[in-house]
Amino acid sequence: MAKVLMKGNEVVAEAAIRSGCRLFFGYPITPQTEISETLAKRMPQVDGLCLQAESEVAAINMVLGASAAGARVLTSSSSPGISLKSEGISYMVGSDLPCVIVNVQRGGPGLGGIQPSQADYYQATKALGHGDMHLIVLAPASIQEVADLTMEAFDLADIYRMPVMILADGALGQMMEPVNFESRPSRQIPEKTWAAGGHGDKRKNNIINSLYIQPDELENMVVERFKRYAEIAEKEVKHEEYLTDDADIVLVSYGITARISKSAVNMARANGIKVGLFRPITLWPFPSKAIHAIGKKTKAILTVELNMGQMVSDVKLAVENACPVEFYGRTGGMLPSVEEVYKKIATMAAELK
Amino acid sequence: MYNILLAGFGGQGILFAGKQLANAGMKAGKEVSWLPSYGPEMRGGTANCSVIIDEQPIGSPLVTTPRVLLAMNLPSFKKFENKVLPGGIIICDSSLIPAKTARTDVSAYYIPATVMASEHGIEGMANVIMLGHFLKVCHLFAYDYFEQAMISSIPPKREKLIEVNKKALSLGYHYAE
């Protein structure tokens, strides 16, 4: 298939349809509204449904219902809307229900702004809802990867019976790049024998529930779920490295900032500074082992984020003081320029001498 | 690498013009990115977009120091004029920008695109006139190639737009100061 030029938001929508998703429930918010705009047009063409709910809270509970019935289902929002969805997300985790949730992040807190941000890293990876829980969190850095990871997200959600988040940002949502939707290697998707999708009295009722009044029973449920998390952490971690082999300084950055960081790495290399880039693709599970290995062989690490310093704490935990870890970030919707990041690298390089 | 910044008022077709450049680059097998400013930039506000066309995979899609600036209003011209790389190119819609650059290290071209569009009965096509002049001075794409790439992106039900786009592109290309 020939490449087409598409916006990140449009690509999420198209990739969802190509993943067999036929249900979308959402509520508009900048900078991700093109997802529902595209699906409003596309879903009827494939006998699907795109529904604008009365609120984010309603939308996530519709997602819960559709998922409980065994459907592949998508919702999307941007930062404040994701906060509204967090209760329903926790209920879905507690009910072991798959779905894909897209957060095209904007500046916060509060209503914040509408420009690109990565300030929801903590929320996405640590506490997207109450209770002992995780989501798989995927961070695309190009429009092609938005397509690939959205399709991957549906598979992961079904395989591990849990919500998967695509953590993007306003720039990735709005920008266009060439993309192709080639068939990807398909994964074995287990049959949804747990779904409450009707059975014509041929089996016992399936019950979808997140309420467990007996503490020992709830503890068992959570412990069993964490065994699945451990399996995911073993099998599903993804990252990418660029020029890290001989690097004195390694930048750690994801999403749109990884793109800016890569340009800064090239600029630094052109100026004789040995720098590389480590790009986490899964933010949960976090590529801690690989970062630990980097920390042991490089002289210093710099994390670059669109916030006041969030992923940097996971990097520090992974590095275990094997080398110094510094941070550079902009927030509120500001994007750092390549030159800004380069200057920070140059300062660090001078200090290493 | 061509990093191009297109800037003007919302409603002038800045984002459309940028998309045509990115699309032509993609069809020529190059790496491309298109990043719009977005937000309260509806008709009358300022709008700009970053387009990068490169042989190598693109890092940052944000153009802060353009090699080429297409400016279609005075605020954009003033804002970005000094950001253009030495040796770069500035193309101004001189109908709307009553100023010239003081810089001597860039090539500047002035074309009254908005007035030309009105005079030829193709109001709203100043953006494509600007693209025509871009083709003339930048040599990034052959004229016929770009014209074909642009036309092929027009959906069949908008067929009548083909002629006006061709006319606008030609006017911009053949304009001589």
**pLDDT tier, A293 (very low <50, low <70, confident <90, very high otherwise):** very high
Q: Are residues A223 and A244 in the same domain?
A: no
| Whether residue A256 sits in one domain with residue A225 | no
- Residue B54, φ and ψ in degrees, nearest 5: -145, 160
- Structural domain contains residue A196: no
User: Rounded to a whole number, what is the distance in Å from the CA of B82 to chain A's nearest CA?
Assistant: 16
The verdict on a CB contact (< 8 Å) between A178 and B59 is no
Contact A176 B22 (CB under 8 A): yes
pLDDT at A268 over 60: yes
Same domain, A221 and A278: no
Per-residue b/e over A101-116, b at no fewer than 16 CB within 10 Å? bbbbbbbbeeebbbbb
Q: How many residues does chain A have?
A: 353
Secondary structure class of A342 (helix, strand, coil): helix
Q: Is residue A134 a part of any domain in this protein?
A: yes
Both tokens assigned to A229:
């998390």
CATH number of the CATH domain containing B34? 3.40.920.10
Query: How does pLDDT run across A21-72, given as a tens digit for each residue?
Result: 999 999 999 999 999 999 999 999 999 999 999 999 999 999 999 999 999 9
Contacts of A177 in chain B (CB under 8 A): 32-34, 58, 61
Give chain A's domain count: 2
**How many domains is chain B built from?**
1
Give the gap in angstroms from C-alpha B7 to the nearest C-alpha of chain A. Answer: 16
Question: Using one digit for the tens of pLDDT, what is the confidence trace for B87-113?
Answer: 999 999 999 999 999 999 999 999 999
Q: Are residues A90 and A231 in the same domain?
A: yes
CATH number for position A321? 3.40.50.920
Nearest C-alpha in B relative to A267: B59
Q: Is the model's pLDDT at A184 over the cut of 90?
A: no
A253 in the same domain as A132: no
What ipTM was reported for this prediction? 0.93
Helix (H, G, I), strand (E, B) or coil at A116: strand
pLDDT, tens digit (0-9, with 9 covering 90-100), for A113-148 = 999 999 999 999 998 999 999 999 999 999 999 999
Are A175 and A297 found together in one domain? no
Residue A212 has pLDDT above 60, yes or no: yes
Residue A97 sits at φ, ψ, to 5 deg, of: -110, 135
Domain extent at residue B77? 2-174
Task: Report whether pLDDT(A338) > 70.
Answer: yes
Judged by a CB distance cut-off of 8 A, whether residue A260 touches chain B is yes
Q: Has residue A203 been placed in a domain?
A: no
Note whether A134 and A284 are within 8 A (CB).
yes
C-alpha distance across the termini of chain B, in Å: 27
- A220 and A330, same domain (yes or no): no
CA–CA dist B111, A316 (Å, integer): 55
Alpha-carbon distance A328 to nearest alpha carbon in chain B (angstroms) = 16
Computed over every residue of chain A, the mean pLDDT equals 97
Instruction: Note the pLDDT of residue B111.
Output: 98
**Contact at CB, B62 and A260, closer than 8 angstroms:** yes
Q: What integer pLDDT is reported at residue A185 of this predicted model?
A: 80
Whether residue A165 lies inside any domain: the answer is yes
By CA distance, what is A171's nearest residue in B? B35
From A81-85, A257-261, A315-319, B152-156, the region with the lowest mean pLDDT: B152-156
Domain boundary among A201, A235, A269: A235
Contacts of A337 in chain B (CB under 8 A): 60, 62, 64
Q: Which CATH number goes with the domain that contains A42?
A: 3.40.50.970
Residues A290 and A215 both lie in one domain? no
Rounded to two decimals, the pTM is: 0.96
* One pLDDT digit (tens) per residue for chain B, 177 residues: 899 999 999 889 999 999 999 999 999 999 999 999 876 655 567 889 999 999 999 999 999 999 999 999 999 999 999 999 999 999 999 999 999 999 999 999 999 999 999 999 999 999 999 999 999 999 999 999 999 999 998 888 888 899 999 999 999 999 997
Q: Tell whether A230 and A275 lie within a shared domain.
A: no
Residue A204 in any domain: the answer is: no
For residue A202, tell me if it sits in a domain: no
- A337–B contact, CB cutoff 8 A: yes
Q: Are residues A219 and A338 in the same domain?
A: no
pLDDT of the residue at B43: 57
Provide the residue range defining the domain that includes A309: 240-352
pLDDT of residue B14: 94
